[in-house]
Amino acid sequence: MLTIPQVMALVDGTILTMQLTLIGITAGIVLGVLLALGRISKSRILNGITWVYVWAFRGTPLLMQLFIIVYAVPLFTLDLFGFPLRLPILAAAAVAYSLNSAAYLAEIIRAGIQSIDKGQMEASKALGMSYYQAMFKIIIPQAYRRLIPPVGNELIMLLKDTSLVASIGLFDVLRTTSQMTNATGKAFYYIYAAIIYLFFTTIIQVVFDKVEKKYSIYD
Amino acid sequence: MIKLENVYKSFGDLEVLKDINLEVKSGEVVCVIGPSGSGKSTMLRCLNQLERITSGKIYIDGELADEREMGKDLKEIPPEKVQELCTELGMVFQRFNLFPHLTVLENITIAPKIVRKKQESEIKKIALDLLKLVGLEDKKDEYPSRLSGGQQQRVAIARALAMQPKIMLFDEPTSALDPELVGEVLEVMKKLAKDGMTMIVVTHEMGFAKEVGTRVIFMDEGRIIEEGDPKVIFDSPKEDRTKSFLKKIL
């Protein structure tokens, strides 16, 4: 069984995991919508910038992005500007997860928007709506339902990928349990980690299924 | 009301409108007929700026809405002005294009609400009156997917009318409908015509053109070949191309 300090450590690890996941998905969706609008915009500059962003963040390992934001950015900024741009490690990790998930979500959202029939934008324009009115009142609300499964997917991936923060010195669920195993020589602590991950992924799966059903009323 | 002067439209190398000149006066019901690919729909879509003309001039309600030469803007007309002029035009599409995530009532009220920024109660009253006009008051809280094609198209007509346009454009409004549903949509359009609405109707319904049209335009290969009184066009067309088209479809 677990001792009280071990329980406390697991709770702390769970809180850290949840913090990174929730910040990552929320900031990722907001930034992802903006990036998606850039990807489908007619402006070549916006198009180019957002293309490069997605290319860079999808094309390199998340662990490397964590290292760069946590360790390399302070060193670069020290060299360039004479002072290190250094965030607390947890905040820096949250930034890395947000930027990374934004790249994946941008592609999900872009595909969702583009899957909506062109006639919807034409009808909106014919009624006098501006591009952004049509986008936010007509197109994106219809894309929601199609976005629910892939966004749920991304959220589960993100939750599991937070275990990478072990390598930048943070104690998440997984690192906490592996430390207990190292200290005691007993491997069953990993089962606690598995239970905690499965508990949250189950919630995500059930909630997303429900939401998807709720949005199906108009189909 | 509406005037097109020397309008050309190309998609790449393909010229779909060639030197179109057309004037539509208040209260007219102009029916545009012709084989598919003749540019009828493109002409409507150019009027409300869903497509940009390559060259020529478009006047809406007496004001210049677009003037181009070889694809370039000759006169910069502010986009707000163009948008305002375009709201004088209501458009009904072949495939209805209702907003599936909104109820019938919301479909009708959304544009007046966010574009015209009118009061909720006033908009709702107008919307309910329009639903009565198209005979669908009892469907106001349904989603479009629960309606038949004919009902959807009638809602689409009400939605366009809710912006209180001066001219209604119909782009093959009955072509996507099952034959038994065509009549109910045409009935609504006849009612509008009787009430004095100015209309441009791209259609394959020759019966409607004959009965309701004040003028018929025959288009082929991007040009207006012949135009005139429906009786004259249908009974004694002058041009060979009009004759052979009418022979095929009547």
For residue B164, give the nearest of B106, B103, B62, B84 by alpha carbon. Answer: B84
Which chain A residues have a beta carbon less than 8 Å from that of B90? 126
Helix axes B149-161, B104-111, angle to 10 degrees: 30
State how far the Cα of A143 lies from the Cα of B10, in Å rounded to an integer.
Answer: 32
Q: How far apart are CA A122 and CA B46, in angstroms?
A: 12
Cβ-defined contact of A137 to B100 (cutoff 8 Å) = no
CA separation for the pair B189, A154 (Å, rounded): 49
Q: What crossing angle do the helices spanning A140-161 and A89-114 adopt, rounded to 10°?
A: 140
Contact A218 B114 (CB under 8 A): no
Contact between B99 and A142 using a beta-carbon 8 Å cutoff: yes
Q: Write out pLDDT tens, residues B187-213.
A: 999 999 999 999 999 999 999 999 999
Give the gap in angstroms from C-alpha A123 to the nearest C-alpha of chain B: 6
The CA distance from B156 to the nearest CA of chain A, in Å, is: 9
The residues pairing with B32 across neighbouring beta strands, listed in sequence order, are B202, B217
Asked whether A121 and A139 are in contact (CB, 8 A), the reply is: yes
What is the nearest CA distance from A219 to chain B, expressed in angstroms? 6
Burial class (CB in 10 A: 0-12, 13-18, 19+), A48: exposed
The CA distance from B88 to B165, in Å, is 4
Q: What are phi and psi of A64, to 5 degrees?
A: -65, -40
Q: CB contact, 8 Å: B90 with chain A?
A: yes
Please indicate whether, in this complex, the C-beta atoms of A137 and B98 are within 8 angstroms of each other: no
DSSP A168: G
CB-nearest to B50 from A125, A129, A138 is A125
B111/A contact by beta carbon, under 8 A? yes
Q: Which residues contact A196 (CB under 8 A, 6 or more apart)?
A: A10, A14, A17, A173
Asked if B170 and B92 count as a contact pair (C-beta separation under 8 A), the reply is yes
State ipTM: 0.91
- Tell me whether residues B87 and A128 touch, CB distance under 8 A: yes
Best CA proximity match to B230, nearest among B250, B35, B8:
B250
User: What amino acid is encoded at A190 in this protein?
Assistant: Y
Grouping H, G, I as helix, E, B as strand and the rest as coil, residue B89 is strand
Which position has the token pair 């479809």?
Answer: B249
Report how far residue B70's alpha carbon sits from residue B54's, in angstroms, rounded to the nearest whole number: 5
**Rounded Cα–Cα distance for residues B73 and B69 (Å):** 7
> Which phi-psi region, left, alpha or beta, contains residue A164 (left: φ > 0; alpha: ψ -120 to 50)?
alpha
H or E element at residue A23 = helix A4-40
Q: Indicate which of B89, B101, B116 best probes the interface with A, i.e. most A CBs within 10 Å of its own CB.
A: B101
> In the predicted model, is pLDDT for residue B83 greater than 90?
no
CB contacts of A134 in chain B (<8 Å) are none
pLDDT digits (tens, 9 = 90+) for A1-48: 788 999 999 999 999 999 999 999 999 999 999 999 999 999 999 999
Q: Are B20 and B4 in contact (CB under 8 A)?
A: yes
Spatial separation of the C-alpha atoms in residues B20 and B30, rounded to whole Å: 15
CB contact under 8 Å between A125 and B49, yes or no, is yes
Q: Which of B83, B98, B102 sits opposite A128 (nearest CB)?
A: B83
The size of the A-B interface in CB pairs under 8 A is 66
**Chain B residues with CB inside 8 Å of A141's CB?**
101
Assess contact for A96 and A65: CB atoms under 8 A. yes
First to last CA, chain A: 50
State the pLDDT at residue A101. 97
Reported as a single tens digit per residue, the pLDDT across B120-138 is: 899 999 999 999 999 999 9
Which residue shows structure tokens 């609504």? B188
Which amino acid does the sequence have at A218?
Answer: Y
Distance CA B5, CA A115 (A): 37
Phi, psi of A63 (to 5 degrees): -60, -40
Q: How does the average pLDDT of chain A come out, rounded?
A: 94
For residue A219, the model assigns a pLDDT of 67
Query: Least CB-CB distance to A218: which of B101, B110, B163?
Result: B101
Any B CB within 8 A of A191 CB: no
Average pLDDT over residues B1-17: 93
Average confidence (pLDDT) over A101-108: 97
Nearest CA to A67 out of A166, A181, A138 is that of: A166
Residue B230: pLDDT above 90? yes
Q: Select the more confidently predicted residue: A213 or A65.
A: A65
**d(C-alpha B207, C-alpha B174), whole Å:** 13
Q: Is A133 on the interface with B (CB under 8 A)?
A: yes
The verdict on B87 touching A (C-beta cutoff 8 Å) is yes
Average pLDDT over residues A93-100: 97
Measured between its terminal Cα atoms, the distance across chain B in Å is 32
Which residues 26-45 of A have a C-beta within 8 angstroms of B? none
pLDDT digits (tens, 9 = 90+) for A180-190: 999 999 999 99
Between CA B202 and CA B209 the distance in angstroms is 10
The overall longest dimension of chain A from CA atoms, in Å, is 70
From chain B, pick out residues whose CB is under 8 angstroms from the CB of A127.
87, 110-111, 115, 159-160, 163
User: Would you call A118 an interface residue with chain B, using a CB distance cutoff of 8 Å?
Assistant: no
Which residues of chain A make contact with B87, given a CB cutoff of 8 A? 127-128
Question: Which of A154, A134, A112, A149 lies closest to A26 in space, CA to CA?
Answer: A154
Quick count: other Cβ atoms within 10 Å of Cβ A56? 12
pLDDT over threshold 70, residue A194: yes
Which residue spans within A106-146 are E strands per DSSP?
Answer: none
Q: pTM of the full predicted structure? A: 0.85
